[in-house]
Structure 1
Amino acid sequence: MNADISNAWQKVQAMVNGFFALLPNIVLALIVFVIFFFVARTIKQVVKRLTSNRRHARNLGMVLGRLAQGATILLGLFISLTIVIPTLRAGDLVQLLGISGVAIGFAFRDILQNFLAGILILLTEPFQIGDQIVFKNFEGTVENIETRATTIKTYDGRRIVIPNSELFTNSVQVNTAFDHRRLEYDVGIGYGDDIDRAKQLILEAMHETEGVLREPAPDALVMELAESTVNIRARWWIQPPRRADALDARDKVLTAIKKKLIANGIDLPFPTQQILFHDQTEETDGDRSRQREGWPAGKGKVPKPRSISDSLRKLAEMRSQSNGSTGDSEAVSTRDEV
């Protein structure tokens, strides 16, 4: 019993002696770590200040500053450990860091993927805070670009959080990337209307509308000969290109075009369908020497128009004749048997 207590006491004394022997190294390591900690904070502020000149780069400066701060603190920790434990080599630390990095990478793969994508988005700036973008079924204004996700505010007042990896690997439509934006709308006129006159009126309506730019100039192009209309595409440019301005300009331009065309006698027809019944075609309905409306070509006899009552009467006569012929044949058969 006394031997066990003596051995334990010797181990405690050895630990205390070892601690006091390492105490200068521990103090020096703490001093080095504190120095690196304050240097890291200074580096963070410097990076944020250097990136503050870039427009909408506050998130980028914050992310890069944190990365620089973390790397500096990690370097200070490695140096402090080598001071406390002189036998610890840098190669061992790198090997340990590599193994730990692989394990962390597999465990937090999605998080790291979004983090790297967020850094690349902040560096390349395909869109910026305040831009209006369209991503898949979502459209709105970019509120914030973080390291994990980007948030947009839709036009109806909802917030959408999109992972950065999705934004970086898919197509994104940026509506406010340039100063000007072109809008267009197809206007249908009647086949009997003068196309050149209609195009001139559409251009006049766009030129007279407030908010439509003179340069680039608006234009009107015939795009399609549709079933009921001749479609003319009106195209005009606006500035700024934000959605509210686009909706306002669209409302003014379409209202002006409709008023201008109606005032000058240009028809704006709606889709119509024409159904032809062959047995209701009149004798005066064109020349039957040429095939039209489903009738065979040739100079055959033109059928007269027939009403529904006449058709029912003729059908009744055909049935009565059929019944009469059937009765006569039965009577002949009966006489033959007798």
Structure 2
Amino acid sequence: MNAEISAVWNKIQGMINGFIILLPNIVLALIVFAIFFFVARAIKRLVKRLTRNRRQARNLGLVLGRLAQGITILVGLFVALSIVIPTFKAGDLVQLLGISGVAIGFAFRDILQNFLSGILILLTEPFQIDDQIVFNNFEGTVENIETRATTIRTYDGRRIVIPNSQLFTNSVTVNTAFDNRRLEYDVGIGYGDDIDLAKQLMLEAMHNVDEVLKDPAPDVLVMELAESTVNIRARWWITPPRRIDSLRSRDKVISAIKQKLYVENGIDLPYPTRQILFHDQTEETDGNRSRQREGWPAGKSEVPKPRRISDSLRLLAQVRSENNNNGKADSQTVNDEI
């Protein structure tokens, strides 16, 4: 029993002696680690100070500052361990971390992908905070860009959180990327109206709207011969290119065009119309049926005579009346025979 206690005491005494021997190294290692720790904090503050002028740059500075701080602290930890344990090799720990990193990478693949995408978005800046973007079915103003996700505020007051990996690997429309933005609207006039006059009046209407830029100048183009209208496209530029500005300019431009065309100059803005043709109906004013007509082959030898709808209805009533009279006569004959 005494031998066992003596052996334990010798081990404890050896550990104490070893600790006392390592104590200077431990103190030095703590001092070195503390120096690296404060240097890391100073680097983080420096990066944040360099990027404090712009909001998006502040986000990038915060991320880069944290990365620099973590790397500096990790290096300080390696140096401190090398002082305390002279046989310690940083390469062994790096190899161990590399093997563990592969497993962690598979386990947290989506998180790491979003993190790297967030870093690349902050570095390349395809869009910035306060930009108005369109992504898939979402449209709104960018509120914040973080390392994991980007948040946008929709125009109806909702918040959408989009993972950065989706934003980085898919198409994003940035409506406020440039100072100016072009808008357009199609106006349909009647086939009997003067196209050149309508285009001139539409240009005059757009030039009278304050929100429409003079340079680049607005223009109008004939786009389509539709079923019941001749469609003319009005195009104009605005600045700034934000959503509220586009809505206001669209409201004023469309109102001015309608006032100029329809109210002041009597140019028709027709509703969709549909023409129904009857093969047994034609008016004298319709022209020569042997040469033309929708619904009747041109050049047909037997051309139906002109007939009005009222005549057709009168003929139909007469036929029905005769059929009714014949039915009564047949019924009377049967009764007489009985």
Question: TM-score scaled to structure 2, two decimals?
Answer: 0.89
Query: C-alpha displacement at 1:33, in angstroms?
Result: 0.4
**What residue number does 1:230 align with?**
230
Is residue 276 of structure 1 aligned with residue 277 of structure 2?
yes
Aligned-partner SS, 1:94: helix
Q: Output aligned runs, 1:133-282, within 5 Å.
A: 133-262=133-262, 263-282=264-283
RMSD: 2.2
**What residue number does 1:289 align with?**
290
For 1:301 and 1:190, how far apart are their aligned partners in 2?
A: 31
The one-letter code matched in structure 2 to 1:51 is T
The one-letter code matched in structure 2 to 1:307 is S
**What residue number does 2:301 align with?**
299
The one-letter code matched in structure 1 to 2:129 is I
**What residue number does 1:57 align with?**
57
Gaps of 5+ in 2: 327-338
Conserved 8 A contact 1:288-1:300:
no
**What residue number does 1:33 align with?**
33
The one-letter code matched in structure 2 to 1:300 is E
Cα distance change on mapping 1:302 and 1:284 into 2, 3 Å: farther
Gaps of 5+ in 1: 322-338
Conserved 8 A contact 2:56-2:145:
no
Query: C-alpha displacement at 1:53, in angstroms?
Result: 5.1
Query: C-alpha displacement at 1:156, in angstroms?
Result: 0.8
Conserved 8 A contact 1:48-1:61:
yes
Deviations 1:104-125 (A, max 9, x none): 2112111111111111001101
**What residue number does 2:315 align with?**
310
Cα distance change on mapping 1:312 and 1:229 into 2, 3 Å: same
Conserved 8 A contact 2:127-2:177:
yes
Conserved 8 A contact 1:142-1:151:
yes
Query: C-alpha displacement at 1:56, in angstroms?
Result: 3.4
Cα distance change on mapping 1:19 and 1:319 into 2, 3 Å: farther
Query: C-alpha displacement at 1:73, in angstroms?
Result: 0.5
For 1:74 and 1:102, how far apart are their aligned partners in 2?
A: 19
Query: C-alpha displacement at 1:2, in angstroms?
Result: 3.2
Bigger shift: residues 288-297 or 143-152: 288-297
Query: C-alpha displacement at 1:86, in angstroms?
Result: 0.9
**What residue number does 1:326 align with?**
none
Aligned-partner SS, 2:286: coil
Is residue 121 of structure 1 aligned with residue 121 of structure 2?
yes
Aligned-partner SS, 2:280: helix
Bigger shift: residues 28-37 or 43-52: 43-52
Bigger shift: residues 290-299 or 176-185: 290-299
For 1:28 and 1:100, how far apart are their aligned partners in 2?
A: 30
Conserved 8 A contact 2:277-2:295:
no
For 2:84 and 2:73, how far apart are their aligned partners in 1?
A: 16
Query: C-alpha displacement at 1:46, in angstroms?
Result: 1.7
For 2:30 and 2:167, how far apart are their aligned partners in 1?
A: 43
Q: Output aligned runs, 1:11-90, within 5 Å.
A: 11-52=11-52, 56-90=56-90
Bigger shift: residues 255-264 or 281-290: 281-290
For 1:107 and 1:12, how far apart are their aligned partners in 2?
A: 43
Conserved 8 A contact 1:283-1:302:
no
Conserved 8 A contact 1:43-1:65:
yes
Deviations 1:271-316 (A, max 9, x none): 1111112123346532122242222332314144552463465478
Bigger shift: residues 186-195 or 95-104: 95-104
Q: Percent identical across equivalent pairs?
A: 77
The one-letter code matched in structure 2 to 1:299 is S
Conserved 8 A contact 1:189-1:268:
yes
**What residue number does 2:334 align with?**
none
Cα distance change on mapping 1:174 and 1:287 into 2, 3 Å: same
